[in-house]
Amino acid sequence: MTFFTVVIRSLLRRPMRTGFTLAGISIGIAAVVALVGMSRGFEKSWQVGLKARGTDIVVSNRSGSLTPKPFDASVRDRIKDLPHIAATCDLLVEVTSVEDSDLMILSAREWGGFSWDNLELASGRMPRDAAEEAVVLGQTAAEVLKKKVGDPIQIETKQLKVVGIVRGGALVEDGSIILSLPLLQKILGSPNQINAIDVRVTPSTNEQQLRDLTQQIQQRVPQVRAVTISEHLNHNEGFRLVRAMSWGTSLLALLVGILGVMNTMLMTVFERTHEICVLLALGWTRRRIIRMVLYESALLGLFGGIIGVTLGAIGVRLLGQTPALRGLLQPDLGLPLLGLSVVIALVVGIVSGLYPAWRSSRLMPSVALQAG
Amino acid sequence: MNPSAASAVPLLKAKALTREFDEGQVKALRGVDFSINEGEFVAIAGPSGCGKSTLLQLLGALDQPTSGELFYRGESVPDNPDPAAYRASEIGFIFQAFHLLPTFTALENVQLPMFESYCSRSERRERARELLRLVGLKDRLAHFPSKLSGGERQRVAIARSLANGPSLLLADEPTGNLDSDNAHAVLDLIISLQQEQGRTMVLVTHDPSIAERAGRILRMMDGRIVSDQLVPAESVAANRK
């Protein structure tokens, strides 16, 4: 028998209670994994989407929400002659409900712009010209909307036709409804309005030149923000909000987990007052008693963390399959997040055990004899 | 007060020991003096509530006296900075209610005090096995306390009290929860172990017939020692038959 046997035996003494505590902490950790994993995945898929389009700099309105406010297309003319710019592409991107799907990305692109280049036809064809009342769907968007080539599709007040299904090379592209910019501007009744310009730089441009270019763009057009792709995601208020909400909700769930473990450990200590007093009478030091209680709570945290990570990973995959989120979510469940979640659970376990451990170490061993 | 032959430093020495509870409203010990030498078997006898268990707790550093002094081998027990180490290495407790931990087997219960010694895992297991053999339970090693009879449980507790080879055994009504046959057998075992191993033992009892099996009887009444009687060797021998 080792000291660890003593710890394990104590936990197994009340299997139901230990089980419920594990469930509590697991749910907290599952929430961390699911929410943070989804928000990270969301960011990552946008980043991959932008890279797949060959975009280096995004120029958008300063508001920086998920779909920025529109601005006038003439901005492009003011920046296109800056050094290192190889190409630009005007965009009007909306996240909106289309037919039965609540959240669809509507991506209108300058006709002939480079953002069309990475789209690979899976079936059908591309629109013939900027004016054709037609769209192409990313593969996932087609699945979500249950559309095939030739089907009609209602965009705002206008009925358009699906002429092709495309592979975009990234989740965001695959989940989008793609059409020509003039067509969407016409449907929305806002000619010359765009809300982003994708900028592609020359291949020889280095990081410093890229940053210099963003500053030059902003100097020329003060009302816009020009950022590199990675900055775009970091500075985007929409992403920041998603990030804050996912962590906020997770921490709330974790707090519930902490209270659960603390309650269990306090119950354990109260219930085992007699046993702890006997151990003190047998010569166990108060330090060893503290260690015993802390090891128990840490183990609860560790196992709760492992179960929670598993539950969270499974849950988020199932969630990603739901019709409402399909195509928008590709959870980022990398090892760092899973590892961090287990570490958080372990810390939660230890922190929750501190007060009960302190209480247990204050017990007077004479109680054991009096109880006899 | 101590009529036994005094060695240079007694194992235990108490001077004007008092213990009060509830801010002095309850006086459990009202000034106790005695000394106990190495190897002695002393019974503390008296009616319920006379303070004998309180005295035993002070001897085992489970509680602190209100006033007075208590020395173990000349060192103050209440002032010991590490009472846990004192209990772990010097004291073996045997309780009336056994106080075995229910989730551990007999073999494991005996090993519990050994975590405070420097034994390896295998040494702990071997020593516990040996001690359980000594108390006649070599066939009950893997039994949990709930599967043992009262007498067997107290034997496990006796083995546990010997785990770290203590100099002083403190037994608080060790047969109080046993039927007469088991009580007799357990008492024989405790006494034979004490005699064979030359340990000092202080046994608390309210039963005069048990007290008379000790070599010396301290009788208590209302928190004081009212008599200190050496039992003649021949009558001890007769009582132990």
Give the domain CATH number at B129: 3.40.50.300
- Is the minimum CB–CB distance between A364 and chain B shorter than 8 Å? yes
Rounded mean pLDDT, A233-261: 77
Show Cβ contacts of residue A361 under 8 Å, excluding neighbours closer than 6 positions: A286, A287, A289, A290
Look at residue B188 in the predicted model and tell me its pLDDT. 92
Q: Which two tokens stand for residue B168?
A: 């002083």
Q: Is residue A227 part of a domain?
A: no
Q: Which of A222, A254, A289 is the last residue of a domain?
A: A222
- Angstroms from A261 CA to nearest CA on chain B: 21
Contact between B116 and A284 using a beta-carbon 8 Å cutoff = yes
Q: What percent of chain B has pLDDT over 90?
A: 74
- Angstroms from A21 CA to nearest CA on chain B: 20
Contact between B57 and A2 using a beta-carbon 8 Å cutoff = no
Total domains in chain A come to 2
Task: Indicate if A145 and A21 belong to the same structural domain.
Answer: no
Rounded mean pLDDT, A180-200: 90
Task: Indicate if A187 and A150 belong to the same structural domain.
Answer: yes
What does residue A332 show for φ and ψ, rounded to 5 degrees? -100, 95
pLDDT greater than 90 at residue A238? no
Task: Indicate if A218 and A96 belong to the same structural domain.
Answer: yes
Rounded mean pLDDT, B112-124: 91
From the list A274, A283, A369, the residue facing B57 with the nearest CB is A369
Q: Is residue B21 part of a domain?
A: no
pLDDT band at A368 (very low <50, low <70, confident <90, very high): low
Q: Which residues pair with A110 in a beta bridge?
A: none
Q: Is residue B176 part of a domain?
A: yes
- Angstroms from A264 CA to nearest CA on chain B: 18
pLDDT band at A263 (very low <50, low <70, confident <90, very high): confident
Show Cβ contacts of residue A8 under 8 Å, excluding neighbours closer than 6 positions: A299
Contact between B116 and A285 using a beta-carbon 8 Å cutoff = yes
Show Cβ contacts of residue B117 under 8 Å, excluding neighbours closer than 6 positions: B88, B89, B163, B164
Q: What's the mean pLDDT when you consider all of chain B?
A: 90
Task: Indicate if A245 and A366 belong to the same structural domain.
Answer: yes
Task: Indicate if A71 and A31 belong to the same structural domain.
Answer: no
Q: Is residue A228 part of a domain?
A: no
- What is the per-residue pLDDT across A30-78, written as a single tens digit (0 to 9) for each? 888 888 888 777 777 777 777 777 788 888 876 656 677 888 888 888 8
Contact between B113 and A283 using a beta-carbon 8 Å cutoff = yes
CB atoms within 10 A of CB A59: 27
What domain range includes position B42? 38-55+82-215+224-239
- Is the minimum CB–CB distance between B110 and chain A shorter than 8 Å? no
Cα–Cα distance for residue pair B206/B172, rounded to 1 Å? 10
CB-CB neighbors (< 8 A) of B171 in chain A: none
- Is the minimum CB–CB distance between B172 and chain A shorter than 8 Å? yes
Rounded mean pLDDT, A224-241: 75
Task: Indicate if A151 and A104 belong to the same structural domain.
Answer: yes
- Angstroms from A23 CA to nearest CA on chain B: 24
Q: What is the DSSP string of B169-198?
A: EEEESTTTTS-HHHHHHHHHHHHHHHHHHT
Is the distance from CB of A27 to CB of A257 less than 8 angstroms?
yes
Q: Which of A109, A80, A104, A79 is nearest to A92 (CA)?
A: A109
Q: Is residue B74 part of a domain?
A: no
Task: Indicate if A143 and A181 belong to the same structural domain.
Answer: yes
Task: Indicate if A362 and A288 belong to the same structural domain.
Answer: yes
Q: Is residue A55 part of a domain?
A: no
Is the distance from CB of B69 to CB of A270 less than 8 angstroms?
no
Q: Is residue B8 part of a domain?
A: no
pLDDT greater than 70 at residue B241? no
pLDDT greater than 90 at residue B90? yes
pLDDT greater than 70 at residue A327? no
- What is the per-residue pLDDT across A125-171, written as a single tens digit (0 to 9) for each? 999 998 899 999 998 889 889 999 999 999 888 899 999 999 877 76
Task: Indicate if A72 and A212 belong to the same structural domain.
Answer: yes
Task: Indicate if A69 and A35 belong to the same structural domain.
Answer: no
What domain range includes position A158? 63-222
pLDDT greater than 90 at residue B91? yes
Look at residue A167 in the predicted model and tell me its pLDDT. 87
Q: Which two tokens stand for residue B41?
A: 């078997």
- Angstroms from B235 CA to nearest CA on chain A: 31
Task: Indicate if A80 and A182 belong to the same structural domain.
Answer: yes
Total domains in chain B come to 1
Rounded mean pLDDT, A93-116: 87
Q: Is residue B61 part of a domain?
A: no
pLDDT band at A275 (very low <50, low <70, confident <90, very high): confident
How many CB contacts within 8 angstroms connect chain A with chain B? 85
Task: Indicate if A103 and A137 belong to the same structural domain.
Answer: yes
Contact between A288 and B116 using a beta-carbon 8 Å cutoff = yes
Q: Is residue A50 part of a domain?
A: no
